[in-house]
Amino acid sequence: MENEKESIRIRYNHVGYGVDFSKTFFVAVLEGGNEHAFEGEIFELVNSLGKPVFTDKLSYCGKAEYTGEILYVGNFTEYRHPGKYRIRVGNQESHLFEISDEWISRQFKSNVKSFYYQRTGEELDKALAGKWARPASHMDDKLEFHPTMNRKGVWNAHGGWYDAGDYGKYIVNGGVSVATLMLACEMKYSLEVVDGVDFVPSFEQPFSLLDEIRFELEFFLRMQDDDGGVFFKVTPGHWDGFMMPADSDVMQKRFILGKSTTSTLNFAGALAQAHRVFAATDPQFATRCLAASRRAYQWALDNPSVEWPHNTEGSGGYGDEHVEDEFFWARAMLYRETCDETLLEKLPHDMEMNPPKLGLDWRDTQNLGWIALALGPLPPCAQELQKTARNALEKTADEILRLQRDDPYGISLRRFIWGSNGIIANHALTSAIVYSWSKNREYLDSAFEQMNFIYGRNPVDVSFVTGSAWSSPMHPHHRICHSDGVEEPIPGLLVGGLNNDRQDMIRKPHYPGDLPGFAYTDERCSFASNETAINWNAPLTSLLALLNQP
């Protein structure tokens, strides 16, 4: 038993726990010994001076097939004093972590700022960007059409965020990201919470979430062709090497490429939502967004099956054969803004054909439709629709809870694939959104429990957001982080996380184990587990915004 204690691992949120949220951690023991050996063992919460402030017993939690560990859970939810603490079990101690609400707001701001650092075509000034300042490059204001398009002339596709660790800009992934971020704005407005997290363009970072969203939307508007269709992506001719944007500019040309039904509908959904979000602060911009959204929707009706560009020389594919979910998203968002009956007529069929998923991603976007209807407000004639949407999403949140209860690490995922952290954040965001109207506290705690996995309570002991804790990634697969000459990566970036498909084996990464739960490594070469991307960061950012004062 004493020997066994040497080999235990304490798995906890490395950044912190919220004052009024559940506070649980795990003790993991490699399978092999007496399965219940640690049941009833004492754990202590000790303050920064090493003085115990809370004591309780561990309970058996279960076996994690994906790591071969037996897990025990410790619970100190009832301890509510803000401060810095460690967990002590036998002679093992965790690092210091916080009990506070402040860290949630701090991480939220750091995430928002990471979108600022993803900006293209703009100088990042030292006063704002500090050691990560960089000159304006990748202006993208006179792009040629990709040779496969056989179209003459140039196009202005200036601005927007880099997608990830690469230098591509993609409408379908930018769209789900910006839409996810807008959900936080919508809901914060509707909850009328003013809590130091500003959604107005004056903010201590100094950029607000709304500013960042606007930056991406301005790029979106430039991506709309004269006929209403929307280009798919801006792509370098070839994959960029690990160099700064300014050097990439010298090395090669970038092109505009597309259009497709998915990119056009994605645009329509995001810009209809922008109408809602900007109506109060900039009605003129809001009106422009809605008009652009309508034109895009009409183009998609006229061109319902235009495929994505299959060219992946220089950028990702984001190929998606199903457009029904994008149609639903666009119609639901547009209906909310226009109350147009021709849209309403189609919604029941859309709902039947596109049941909600546990979360959303660039391929499956229907939850944005469901959430639009559930949040409303909708006109009296659509009250039943809203009720149906809320019920369906509540069932989804229940399913997430059930999956979490059956998993020893408390997550609702069943396979670790590319971007698993983004998937977890999206599931958690679903729960937090459902909480906003149901007020069922279980959903909020369930969201927090999943977030613990992202901030360190996982089998590889990593807090997956750069700069968030002692264990955060130092070598993300991110061209700027690698080549800017700054040792620390840009803060506030969420890496993809465990991915047991390990598509990067050819680069010889050093994964810590063969089981699925060890499919992460903090190495630059690991594009399959250690890249960052806006669509993974967006749900985490919105989740932090919603958890910041329940």
Determine which residue in the list 531, 542, 544, 547 makes contact with ligand 9MR, applying CB under 6 A. Answer: 531
Tallying the residues shown for the chain, one arrives at 550
H or E segment and range at residue 256: strand 254-258
Shortest Cβ distance from residue 436 to ligand 9MR (Å)?
A: 27
d(CA 539, CA 514): 29
Stretch that binds ligand 9MR, among 41-49, 113-121, 159-167, 459-467 (CB under 6 A): 159-167
Stretch that binds ligand 9MR, among 105-113, 310-318, 364-372, 401-409 (CB under 6 A): 310-318
Q: What is the DSSP letter of 380?
A: G
- Judged by beta carbon, residue 422 or residue 459, the one nearer ligand 9MR is 422
The answer to whether 491 and 481 are in contact (CB under 8 A) is no
Q: Omega before 473 cis (within 30°)?
A: no
d(CA 342, CA 295): 15
Asked if 316 interacts with ligand 9MR (CB under 6 A), we say yes
Shortest Cβ distance from residue 317 to ligand 9MR (Å)?
A: 5
Shortest Cβ distance from residue 15 to ligand 9MR (Å)?
A: 24
The answer to whether 300 and 327 are in contact (CB under 8 A) is yes
Asked if 418 interacts with ligand 9MR (CB under 6 A), we say yes
Determine which residue in the list 69, 98, 163, 337 makes contact with ligand 9MR, applying CB under 6 A. Answer: 163
Write the interaction track for ligand 9MR spanning residues 484-523; mark x where CB under 6 A is met and - where it is not: ----------------------------------------
Q: How many CB atoms lie within 10 A of CB 83?
A: 12
- Judged by beta carbon, residue 74 or residue 316, the one nearer ligand 9MR is 316
Shortest Cβ distance from residue 359 to ligand 9MR (Å)?
A: 13
Determine which residue in the list 196, 317, 355, 377 makes contact with ligand 9MR, applying CB under 6 A. Answer: 317
Asked if 168 interacts with ligand 9MR (CB under 6 A), we say yes
Unique residue bearing structure tokens 């900007």: 278
Stretch that binds ligand 9MR, among 158-166, 188-196, 435-443, 452-460 (CB under 6 A): 158-166
Strands 9-11 and 154-155: what pairing? unpaired
Asked if 171 interacts with ligand 9MR (CB under 6 A), we say no
Shortest Cβ distance from residue 536 to ligand 9MR (Å)?
A: 8
The number of angstroms, rounded, from the C-alpha of 473 to the middle of its chain's C-alpha atoms is 17
Residues numbered 60 to 119 that lie near ligand 9MR (CB under 6 A) are none
Residues 6+ apart with CB under 8 A from 497: 416, 419, 420, 421, 424, 454, 458, 464, 520, 529
Beta bridge partners of 54: 45
Asked if 407 interacts with ligand 9MR (CB under 6 A), we say no
- Judged by beta carbon, residue 50 or residue 317, the one nearer ligand 9MR is 317
Asked if 166 interacts with ligand 9MR (CB under 6 A), we say yes
Shortest Cβ distance from residue 166 to ligand 9MR (Å)?
A: 5
3-state secondary structure string across 429-456: HHHHHHHHHHCCHHHHHHHHHHHHHHCC
- Judged by beta carbon, residue 408 or residue 419, the one nearer ligand 9MR is 419
* Beta-carbon-side half-sphere exposure of residue 278 (alpha carbons within 13 Å): 26
Contacts 24+ apart (CB under 8 A), 55-59: 58/27, 58/89
The answer to whether 254 and 236 are in contact (CB under 8 A) is yes
Residues numbered 341 to 370 that lie near ligand 9MR (CB under 6 A) are none
d(CA 356, CA 394): 10
Shortest Cβ distance from residue 270 to ligand 9MR (Å)?
A: 18
Residue 48 exposed, middle or buried by CB count within 10 Å (0-12, 13-18, 19+): exposed
d(CA 522, CA 537): 17
Determine which residue in the list 112, 277, 533, 544 makes contact with ligand 9MR, applying CB under 6 A. Answer: 533
Strands 169-170 and 154-155: what pairing? unpaired
Shortest Cβ distance from residue 318 to ligand 9MR (Å)?
A: 6
Kindly determine how many residues on this chain lie close enough to bind ligand 9MR according to the rule CB under 6 A: 11
The answer to whether 391 and 373 are in contact (CB under 8 A) is no
Q: Which residue is nearest to ligand 9MR (CB)?
A: 316
Stretch that binds ligand 9MR, among 188-196, 207-215, 316-324, 340-348 (CB under 6 A): 316-324
- Which residues form the interface with ligand 9MR (CB under 6 A)? 163-164, 166, 168, 316-318, 418-419, 531, 533
